[in-house]
Amino acid sequence: MIRTCKIFFGCLIVLLLLWQIPSIYNFFAVKPTDTPFTLYSSVVGKFAVLQHGEDKKMTYKDHTGGEYTEDQFDSILPTFYYRQLITDGRFPDSICGRAVTPRDVQISNFNMRISPLDLNAPKIGVQQLLESMSGRVDLTLPDDVFRITDSGIEFVKMATNEIDDRKSDRFTEMMLSKGFVFPAYRMSGNPTDRKEYDEGYVMLDANRKLFHIKQTVGRAYVRAIELPKDLVVEHLFITEFPSRKWLCFMTDVEGNFWVVERDSYAIKRTEIPQFNPEAESMLIIGNMFDWTVRVNRANEQCYYAINADDYTLIDSLTYSTPNKTMPGLKFTTTKDKFVKPRFVN
């Protein structure tokens, strides 16, 4: 008995040390690596790099070493600094040989963040499906929520906490008739009234077939989207950008990055190299010409320039961000929102 207690106490102390010593060391000794702000410029065909110099002054360069003034820097990133250019009266009539207006730039710009923190997080099993064709300018939140069960979709009236059987049956029947197999493997939507339009949800059904589901005038809109042969989709990211060009982005089991175009439901593969959204975070700053894609990997930060029209890889740049933290026992990580003990490097 006492032996058991002593062994237990010993194990407890060892685990506490494995937890505390690395965390104290990492807190005091490890400084995060700074990487400069980087964006691809289609104007000069190079990555533009904005960096704090040693004397705290900003330096404006490109990744081949060319230097710029602040004004020049605005001009080589016209879609990013378009508001500055308008204010200065320097906004051009055309960029890269294409006639543009500030409005075109504004509509085609987008930012997208994909973080493992959002994927690896506890989720509430109910969501809201907005009305996407209310006839009003502003979106409104519905008075019900839905859940996907093993046998269908269930809408629950919030005011009464009761299931709306008629609506549930209508939607379930529509989904089944389009070949949806319950339950859903993944779904992605953005149920908020603070957006310009609503595309409902993209879902992978139990067989990982892709569907687009929304509510139009109270009715179920369900569209099965044909996937290329051998494409096994893993994660979905609904876009709902002002340009309305895409329905969603996707990653497959092999780490490829795909887009689904909105009007045609055409599925296209991008040349963004291997990306695992469960472990790596991604930031895309897109405009009508190119996307700057930043991927934070284990020991490096990678920048990819992607052609906005055909999704080909134009250029890439890698900053080394060596991980100098001491491995140890941790309960939380920056990659998920779960608390559980694990050994982390």
Partner 1 sequence: MMIKAIFYKEWIKTRWYWLLALLLSIGFAGYAMLRVARVYSMKGAEHLWIVMIQRDAIFVDLLQFVPLFVGLALALVQFVPEMHHKSFKLTLHLPIRATRAVTAMLSFGSVLLIATFALSLALMWGYLQSVLAPELWQHIILSTLPWYLAGLAAYLLTAWISLEPTWKHRVINGVIALLLLRIYFMSPAPESYNSFLPLLAVVTLSYSLLSMLSLTRFRDGRQD
Is there binding between residue 99 and partner 1 (CB under 8 A)?
A: no
Is there binding between residue 145 and partner 1 (CB under 8 A)?
A: yes
Paired residues of 154 in beta bridges: 147
Binding residues for partner 1, how many (CB under 8 A)?
A: 37
Residue 291 C-beta: closest distance to partner 1, Å: 28
Out of 25, 37, 197, 338, the residue judged to bind partner 1 by CB under 8 A = 338
Is there binding between residue 18 and partner 1 (CB under 8 A)?
A: no
Out of 12, 21, 29, 206, the residue judged to bind partner 1 by CB under 8 A = 12
Residue 238 C-beta: closest distance to partner 1, Å: 15
Is there binding between residue 137 and partner 1 (CB under 8 A)?
A: no
231-290 residues in contact with partner 1 (CB under 8 A) are none
Residues in Cβ contact with 300 at an 8 Å cutoff, skipping those fewer than 6 apart:
318, 319, 320, 321
Is there binding between residue 191 and partner 1 (CB under 8 A)?
A: yes
Residue 200 C-beta: closest distance to partner 1, Å: 16
Tokens at residue 78, please?
């016209």
Out of 121, 206, 253, 298, the residue judged to bind partner 1 by CB under 8 A = 121
- In the bound state with partner 1, the residue whose beta carbon lies nearer, of 9 and 37, is 9
- In the bound state with partner 1, the residue whose beta carbon lies nearer, of 50 and 163, is 163
Residue 191 C-beta: closest distance to partner 1, Å: 8
Q: Which stretch binds partner 1 (CB under 8 A): 6-14, 101-109, 178-186, 243-251?
A: 6-14
Q: Which stretch binds partner 1 (CB under 8 A): 36-44, 119-127, 297-305, 316-324?
A: 119-127
- In the bound state with partner 1, the residue whose beta carbon lies nearer, of 30 and 121, is 121
Is there binding between residue 14 and partner 1 (CB under 8 A)?
A: no
Binding residues for partner 1, rule: CB under 8 A, are: 1-2, 4-6, 8-9, 12-13, 16, 19-20, 121-122, 124-128, 141, 143, 145, 147, 156, 158-161, 191-192, 331-332, 337-341
